[in-house]
Structure 1
Amino acid sequence: MAYAPRGFHFDLKTVLSDPSPHINLDIPVYEETLQNFLKAVNNYKNRSIATITDRRTKDAVEKKKTQDRFQKIESEISKCKVQEIELMATLEKEQAERKDAELAVAAFRRQIASLHERSATMQAQIDEYRALIASLKTAVIDKGKERSTLNAHASRVVPELHAFERLLACAIEGMEKEQLLISFRCVDISDPDREFSFILDVSGPNFKVVKTSPPLPSLPLLVDRLNITQDIFAFIVQIRQEFHRIANGEENMDVS
């Protein structure tokens, strides 16, 4: 309960009119009042100290909490910085990998384009080869038919050829490019085994003698006559007669 001090009053006029003036200070009351005042001051001091102590305690707790939060925030910031560095490194790595991947994709695309070009070229070659094969097959079929026809014709001609060979005393052999090798024996009386021959080209509209062994001076006249008469067998007989004349030293015969 708060102390309400009692008021100190005195009459100054009465005091001054007294021959022995004195003032009754009422010391006990004053002391009581002073003690009450000191007690109130002490209570106020204690309450203030308690309040200050409580505030300090609360402030210390809040400061500790604030420091803990600050340390936690600092730790989180440090972790975030580390994560940021790691993320930047990861980002740089991914960018480098992406660049490498883009370069690889570009290289693959160039390879694919090159392969497409090669494929198109090879396909064109394949088509060309297929056309060639088809043409060759057709040619083979035609050749087969032609060969069958020639074989059938040869089966009829061979006996006639053998008969003409016996009749003309010569051997007739087919060569490349529609040429005939015609050879004679028993021409040289001194050497019956000596061979005389000439190659007749029948591929063109006119007959040609490619080679004679031995050479015949009268060959151009004989070939001209052959192209006029178209009589191959008479021409073979005349060539044999020319070989016989040269081999045995006989006089020149009339080939006109």
Structure 2
Amino acid sequence: MTNVLRVPKLDLPAILVQQNPQIDLRLDAYETSTRNFLAAVSNYTQHAVTEITKRKNKFHADKKAAAEKAQNIETETTQCKVKEIELISVLDREAEEKKEAEASVAQFRRQLASIKEKCASLDVEIEQHRIVAANLMRERRREHGILNVHAANIMPEMLACEDRLKCWIEGIGPDLTLVRFTHIDPADISREFSLVLDVSEPVIRVPTTTPGLPTLPIILNESSDSNVIIRRVRAAFVELVAQGK
């Protein structure tokens, strides 16, 4: 704490009665007090300047930091706006894709419903075909049974006819019948002569004969009756043997 110079009260009448009146102004003390005051003022000023400079520097640093922070915030804000635009674009695209997907799903559902209806209709048709097939199968079994009965009845007669006529007929494939003859060549009664009948079409064809017959096209042109063809082919075999072939 600064010492304050205390000035004593003057006794002016007592001073004036002196032979050489003098007033002690205490200049040394004043000067000392003044120097102390000026030093205190100088210290205060220096401290104030230092504090002001410190605060100024801090203010400028805070201002720079605030400016940098504001710049960073502005940059981040700009980036956020760009990202927001991109996100909006993505959301719009996803919304469009969702709309297209929903339309596709709706179309697939309609197709599925139509397919289910067709399947139900086909199931009904399949069941109807199964019933028809079962009926046909029963009818075929019945016919097969009848044919077996007829075959059993005529088998002895057929075997007797084949042995008497020396002619054997057998199926060798779908719509193909093999007809074999013996007792045509007197020199070798066991020699076989044969032809194959193809009845897959309305007009009967003869794919092959053994041995080959040059007159076969003429025979086929003259008749399409299988019995007639068999008889005429046998006669052609007889003629062929007579010619020494």
Residue 243 (str. 1) matches residue 204 (str. 2): yes
> Paired residues, what number?
162
* Residues in 2 aligned to 1:245 and 1:95: alpha-carbon distance in whole angstroms: 100
- Computed over aligned residues only, the root mean square deviation of the Cα atoms, in angstroms, reads 3.2
1:62 shift after superposition: 2.2
* Residues in 2 aligned to 1:188 and 1:243: alpha-carbon distance in whole angstroms: 14
Cα distance, 1:129–1:191 mapped onto 2, change above 3 Å: farther
Residue 70 (str. 1) matches residue 82 (str. 2): no
Contact between 2:179 and 2:195, CA under 8 Å: does it hold in 1?
A: yes
Residue 4 (str. 1) matches residue 8 (str. 2): no
* Residues in 2 aligned to 1:74 and 1:63: alpha-carbon distance in whole angstroms: 16
* Residues in 2 aligned to 1:185 and 1:151: alpha-carbon distance in whole angstroms: 30
SS in 1 for 2:16: coil
Structure 2 gaps, min length 5? 1-10, 148-173, 181-193, 209-215, 225-245
Larger Rg: 1
Cα distance, 1:122–1:52 mapped onto 2, change above 3 Å: same
Contact between 1:245 and 1:252, CA under 8 Å: does it hold in 2?
A: no
Cα distance, 1:98–1:145 mapped onto 2, change above 3 Å: same
The answer for the alignment partner of 1:111 in structure 2 is 90
1:49 shift after superposition: 3.7
Normalised TM-score (structure 1)? 0.53
The answer for the alignment partner of 2:166 in structure 1 is none
Where do residues 75-224 of structure 1 align in structure 2 (5 Å cutoff)? 75-158=54-137, 160=139, 184-186=175-177, 190=194, 192=196, 197=200
SS in 1 for 2:177: coil
Cα distance, 1:52–1:103 mapped onto 2, change above 3 Å: same
Normalised TM-score (structure 2)? 0.55
SS in 2 for 1:65: helix
C-alpha distance after superposition, 1:186-219 (max 9, x if no partner): 1788454x7664xxxxxxxxxxxxxxxxxxxxxx
* Residues in 1 aligned to 2:106 and 2:97: alpha-carbon distance in whole angstroms: 14
C-alpha distance after superposition, 1:128-166 (max 9, x if no partner): 1111111111111110010000111122234556859x9
Structure 1 gaps, min length 5? 6-31, 168-182, 198-238
The answer for the alignment partner of 1:13 in structure 2 is none
The answer for the alignment partner of 1:20 in structure 2 is none
* Residues in 2 aligned to 1:139 and 1:61: alpha-carbon distance in whole angstroms: 111
The answer for the alignment partner of 1:50 in structure 2 is 29
Contact between 1:196 and 1:243, CA under 8 Å: does it hold in 2?
A: yes
- Identical amino acids, percent of aligned pairs: 14
1:86 shift after superposition: 1.3
* Residues in 2 aligned to 1:188 and 1:89: alpha-carbon distance in whole angstroms: 112
Choose 49-58 or 117-126, whichever is displaced more.
49-58
AA of the residue aligned to 1:243: I
Cα distance, 1:253–1:119 mapped onto 2, change above 3 Å: farther
Contact between 2:176 and 2:198, CA under 8 Å: does it hold in 1?
A: yes
Contact between 1:184 and 1:195, CA under 8 Å: does it hold in 2?
A: yes
Cα distance, 1:244–1:188 mapped onto 2, change above 3 Å: farther
1:253 shift after superposition: 5.3
